[in-house]
Amino acid sequence: MFNNKSSNPQILKPFHSINCNGRLVELNTPKIMGILNLTPDSFSDGGLFNNEKSALQHTENLINDGAEIIDIGPQSTRPNAEFLSSEEEVRRIGNMISLIKKEFPETLISLDTFYSETVKFGFNEGIDIVNDISGGQYDDKMYHTVAETKLPYILMHVNPSYEVMHDKIKFEDITLSVNQYFSEKTNELLEKGITDIILDPGFGFGKTVEDQMKMIGEVQYIGFEKFPLLIGISRKSFIYKPLGKSPLDINDETQKLHIKVLQQGAKILRVHDVAETKKTVDEFLRTSLSKI
C-alpha cells in the first residue's frame, strides 16, 4: 500500500514561485510547512502550544528542524471540533504573529482560517500566506479580503459547508472532481486579482480511504502543474486507521508517502514532524539531483 516508487518522477519541476509581501519565494525545491496549533482541542497536539512561551519554543524547534513556513492554526478542524467565531480566533492568536515575526523575521507565516476578519487581523500583524481550508465557501468576503492583501492563497478542496466538511463522499473519479473544483475556484480567484495560488487537495476532509490513496498515486495530475501543490497528510486517519495505529505512530508510512508525492511534483509539505520530513526532503533532493 505504501510503495514509494513512481512511474513518472518529477525532478525539481515544474518551477513555481510566490510573492509574499514583496518577497519572491522560489518553490523549485520543496518547502516544509510546520504546524503550530494554538488550540486546546486539535486531534494530536491540542493544548500543548496554546500559550506564548510554549508556542514560541515550539516555533523555534520547528524552524531549527527545517521548517521554512509556520502555519498558525487558532481553530481545530478535526471532526466534531468546537466551532469558533472569528473573534475567538483573534483572541487565541493574540500577539503570536508579531512575536514570531520579531524573533524569526526570515520565517514565513501562514494563517489557517476560513474567516476574512481573521485574515485582516493576521495581515496587519504580518502574515505572509492565507491558508483557507474552505476554498472561500464559508465566508463570502474571503476572496475580496485576500485580493486586498495581495497575499498568496492556499485553496483547498473541501465539501461546500462547515456542517458537512467531514461527510464522506464516494467520488466517481476523485482526481477529476478535485480538478473540476480547482478549475472553477482558480478562475474566480484570478478574476478577483489573486494570482499567487497554492492548491491543496484536502486530504482528511470528506474523502474515503480508497479515494485518498488514489489521490496519492495521481498527485502529478492534480492541477495540471499550473499552480504549486501543497500536500497535508501528516497524522491523517486515512493512513493510521487502516493500519490499526495511532496518529503518532505512522512516521515511516507517512515519509514513504511524502517521497511518492514529491516524486510527482509536490512543492510544500504541511507536517507536524518537521525533523523527519526534512530527512525525507533531503534524501529526495539528493536522489533526484543524482539523476540529472
Higher pLDDT, 54 or 233: 233
d(CA 117, CA 89): 10
Q: Does residue 57 fall inside a structural domain?
A: yes
Q: Does residue 126 fall inside a structural domain?
A: yes
Q: How much of the chain is in helix, strand and coil states, percent to nearest 5?
A: 45, 15, 40
Task: State whether residue 195 is helix, strand or coil.
Answer: coil
Question: Across-strand partners of 230?
Answer: 268
Cβ–Cβ contacts within 10 Å for residue 254, how many? 24
User: Which of 45-54, 83-92, 137-146, 216-225 bottoms out in mean pLDDT, i.e. has the lowest?
Assistant: 45-54
d(CA 239, CA 174): 17
Predicted local distance difference test score (pLDDT) of residue 292: 63
pLDDT(170) > 90? no
Which of 36, 11, 161, 158 is closest to 104 using CA atoms?
36
d(CA 125, CA 136): 21
Predicted local distance difference test score (pLDDT) of residue 193: 97
Which of 187, 219, 186, 189 is closest to 202 using CA atoms?
219
Pairing state of beta strands 108-112 and 153-156? unpaired
Q: Tell me: the pLDDT tens digits for 59-76?
A: 999 999 999 999 999 998
Q: What is the pTM of this model?
A: 0.91
Please confirm, yes or no, whether 23 is among the known catalytic residues: no
- Mean pLDDT computed over every residue of the chain: 91
Catalytic residue of the set 207, 236, 260, 267: 236
Q: Does residue 209 fall inside a structural domain?
A: yes
Domain span holding position 274: 17-290
Q: Does residue 8 fall inside a structural domain?
A: no
Which of 241, 238, 232 is closest to 271 using CA atoms?
232
Q: Does residue 5 fall inside a structural domain?
A: no
The count of domains in the chain is 1
Q: What is the CATH number of the domain that holds 160?
A: 3.20.20.20
- Concatenated DSSP letters for the chain? ------SS--SS-S--EEEETTEEEE-SS-EEEEEEE--S--TTTTTSS-SHHHHHHHHHHHHHHT-SEEEEESS--STTPPP--HHHHHHHHTTHHHHHHHH-TTSEEEEE-S-HHHHHHHHHHT--EEEETTTTSS-TTHHHHHHHHT--EEEE---SSGGGTT--B--SSHHHHHHHHHHHHHHHHHHHT---EEEE--TTSSB-HHHHHHHHHTGGGGGGGSS-BEE--TT-HHHHHHHT--GGG-HHHHHHHHHHHHHTT--EEEES-HHHHHHHHHHHHHHHHHT-
Please confirm, yes or no, whether 226 is among the known catalytic residues: no
d(CA 202, CA 37): 18
Q: Tell me: the pLDDT tens digits for 78-103?
A: 777 788 999 999 999 999 999 999 99
pLDDT(224) > 60? yes
d(CA 240, CA 280): 19
